[in-house]
Copies of this chain bind each other. A is one copy, B any other.
Amino acid sequence: MDRSEILLSFLKDYRDHYLPSVSLDLVIFGFHEGQMKVLLIRFKGSQDWLLPGGRVRKDEDLNEAAYRSLRERTGLEKLFLQQFQTFGKVDRLTHFSWEETLTKMGLKEPLESLGVDIASFWSRDISVGYYALVEYTKVNPTPDIMSDECQWWDIDQVPQLLFDHNDMIRLALKTLRRQLSYQPIGYNLLPEEFTMSELQSLYETILGRKLDRRNFYKQIMNYDVLERLEKRPTIPASKAPYLYRFKKERYEQLLNEEDLSVG
């Protein structure tokens, strides 16, 4: 099949097997060399970047659709995925022509040939926003059928994206920051073993400000979610920092609990 036929077949699949009016978008965060990163895709035949996303099959749960899309873009399973907001402004997708965009991607048939009501097909989508925390070094960034590239961007270098995707990143980050006030973070963003400094650096990067070393240590130890390891990196023992790892069961317990810090 040539590209046009592939795209047409894909659109027919959407028409027949996926829910109308519903989509999902993924803000996939990674952390590398002290930098927060986000995974973006670029539409074929265009310079437009946007968040990876997908639609929901009629026979799958909404959350399954999100995990499936995440797996298809990163190659990873068993990830931390969190809904943060559902976006439903009437004008989310205006000033954007799917006909034009699909033509640039290589579609040679008019959308009418799909036999859908073109005025309503893809004209209005509610999008369920998820953020994911993934280990940067383990991700295999994989474009989807409509994109040429899939790659990591530094969070403060993200360009003007399509639709409301800059707002989505901003809101996902705000939700992630709030999460820090009632749950520990880091299980998926850091390597399996890390120093207290590396964990603090991650928090500082997410929060966008420096933290007091002693207060940070106290608060993290309060969660009782870290295991200190005997092993240290190979430098003079007196100066070597301890390595830590997360106690997985305890971490997951805290993720599901109401961590009440009032009173």
Chain A residues in the interface with B (C-beta under 8 A): 19-22, 56, 58-63, 65, 83, 85-90, 124, 126, 128, 174, 177-178, 180-182, 203, 207, 209, 211-212, 215-216, 219, 258-263
Decide if B261 touches A181 in the complex (CB within 8 Å).
yes
Decide if B86 touches A263 in the complex (CB within 8 Å).
no
| Subset of 10 A-B contacts with CB under 8 Å | A19-B126, A21-B22, A22-B22, A62-B89, A63-B88, A178-B182, A178-B258, A181-B262, A215-B263, A219-B262
Decide if B216 touches A258 in the complex (CB within 8 Å).
no
Report B-chain residues with C-beta under 8 Å of the C-beta of A89.
61-63
Report B-chain residues with C-beta under 8 Å of the C-beta of A59.
90
Task: Using known A-B contacts A22-B21, A181-B182, determine if residue A262 contacts B63 with beta carbons closer than 8 Å.
Answer: no
Could you tell me the distance in whole angstroms from the C-beta of A254 to the nearest C-beta in chain B? Answer: 12
Could you tell me the distance in whole angstroms from the C-beta of A15 to the nearest C-beta in chain B? Answer: 12
